[in-house]
Amino acid sequence: MITLIGVGHVFAISENVKELIRSRRPEIVCLELDPARFNALVQKDSSRSVPLQYKLLAYFQKRMATKFGSEVGDEMMAAVSAAQEIGAKVALIDMDAATVFARLWRRMSFREKLHLFGGAFAGLFMSKETVEREMEQYEQHGEQYLEKLGDGFPAVKEVLIDDRNKHMAQRLSALASQHVGIVAVVGDGHVPGLLEGLKPLEVEAIRLKDVRSPPKREEAAAEYTSSYYVNGP
């Protein structure tokens, strides 16, 4: 069984992520990270070993996380802490960030680069309320949201989402042949692609909206079990 936990890197959801991992007690906890980004989180130092584009993205996420009373990567470190509590291994399943951003820069058109940096600059001034509204739109129309991203930024969707989904699905499939229970903590936007890439394995998907507002403890086991099994054996 593979459980996908969809997260958002700016939200205060660390305790909820821990509880989900504790309740499932997997043999291995997988993270949407590569070694360089993992080390940057552990050392709380994003100035080394990561591309400039990633540093800019991390800066934007850090500003937004502050508005939600969190720190970027808290949910990933919470997953590591929960893994240590239950004696589970930790695996880093994402592509190398430097390779990803180098590939992205080569594939992006000048128009995409211009619009991407313009959007990133505007995002620095985005309010918490605006982020919440965008999240509501995403939760209600996730597929259309990703299609719109592909229309406006085809290289971004291909490299940052599609290519990484394939890579992570392959890593998870390989690990599933060696471990009975797996929990993977990934950005919520990766969940649909991973569900598709992991067929026909049995996968439980817990989306960000449910991680942020989990059911009461006495209802959790029944509700998650009945609602989130997606791919059959």
pLDDT value of position 233:
42
Helical segments of 108-213, H only: 110-123, 128-140, 142-152, 154-156, 164-176, 191-197, 208-212
Low-confidence ranges of the chain (pLDDT < 50): 65, 125, 217-230, 232-233
Q: Domains of the chain: which residue ranges?
A: 2-231
Question: What is the C-alpha to C-alpha distance for residues 86 and 27, in angstroms, rounded to an integer?
Answer: 9
Residue 37, both tokens: 């980004």
How confident is the model over 84-97, as pLDDT tens digits?
999 999 999 999 98
Instruction: Specify the pLDDT at position 97.
Output: 86
Q: Strand, helix or coil at 184?
A: strand
Q: What pLDDT is stored for residue 222 in this prediction?
A: 44
Write out pLDDT tens, residues 29-51.
Answer: 999 999 988 988 888 765 555 55
Distance from the first to the final alpha carbon of the chain? 9
Q: Which of 6, 75, 82 is nearest to 41 (CA)?
A: 75
pLDDT at res. 102: 87
